[in-house]
Amino acid sequence: MRITKSAIAIFLGIVCICAGLGLTAHNLIENHKMAQASRQVTNVLEQRILDNLQAGESGELKMKSEKIGDYYYLGIIEIPRLGIKLPVMDSWSYEKLLVSPVYYSGSYYEDNFVVCAHNSYAHFGKIRGVQIGDEIHFTTVEGKVLKYIVSNTRVLQDTAVEDMVFNKEKEDNKEDWDLTLFTCTLDGQARFTVRAIKAD
C-alpha cells in the first residue's frame, strides 16, 4: 500500500513539473513572438520616420501616426540603459497590448503623455529595473526626438485611473511629470508606473 501511495505521489509530482515546464515554454515562445513582431514594426517605422524627416514638418501640433500592417503607430519609445526600443500604437485595446505598447492618454505636445504595455519581457517587463535619472526617448513618426529623464517610480492600484492620467500635484509643484509609462505588476493587481520629465 505504501508503494502505491508513493508511486501516485511521484506520478503527480512529475505531472506538475511537466505542466510547469509546458507553461514556461509557452510563455517563452509567446515572448519571443512579441519581441520579433515589435522589432519588425520598429524597423519599418524607423524608415517611415526618415522619409517623413526628408518631407519636412507640417507645423500642425497634432500627434500623427503611420499605418504599418493592420495598426497605426505614433512613434518609437526607447530606454537605452534597459535596451528597450519598441513601437507605440496610437490607441489601446487588450488585443493591441499583445502586439506592442500603446497610447493610453494625453499628448506629448501637452506634456501629459501616457503609454502602457504588457508586462512581458518583450515589452515593459524590464521597466521595473528603471532608475531615477535614466533617459527615455520618444521619436515621433515625423522624426522629432523627445528626451525625458526618469523622475520617480510608484505602484498605483488598477482602479487609480485618475492618478495615472492626471497629475493633481502638478499645480502645487510637488510632482512634475511629462511622460508616464506603466505596466501590470507581476501579480496583475496593480500598475508599476514610471514618471519622467522633459530633459530640456
6-28 pLDDT, tens digit per residue, is: 666 676 667 677 666 666 666 66
Which residue type is seen at 183? T
User: Stretch 38-48: mean pLDDT, rounded?
Assistant: 78
Locate 91 and state its grid cell.
490607441
C-alpha 80/C-alpha 114 separation (Å) is 19
Please report the DSSP string for 165-180 in residue order: H--GGGGGTS---SEE
- Is pLDDT above 70 for 70? yes
pTM for this structure?
0.75
pLDDT in tens, 139-191: 999 999 999 999 999 999 988 888 888 865 555 545 679 999 999 998 888 99
Residue 74 backbone phi and psi in degrees, to 5: -90, -30
Cα(98)–Cα(136) distance, rounded to whole angstroms? 22
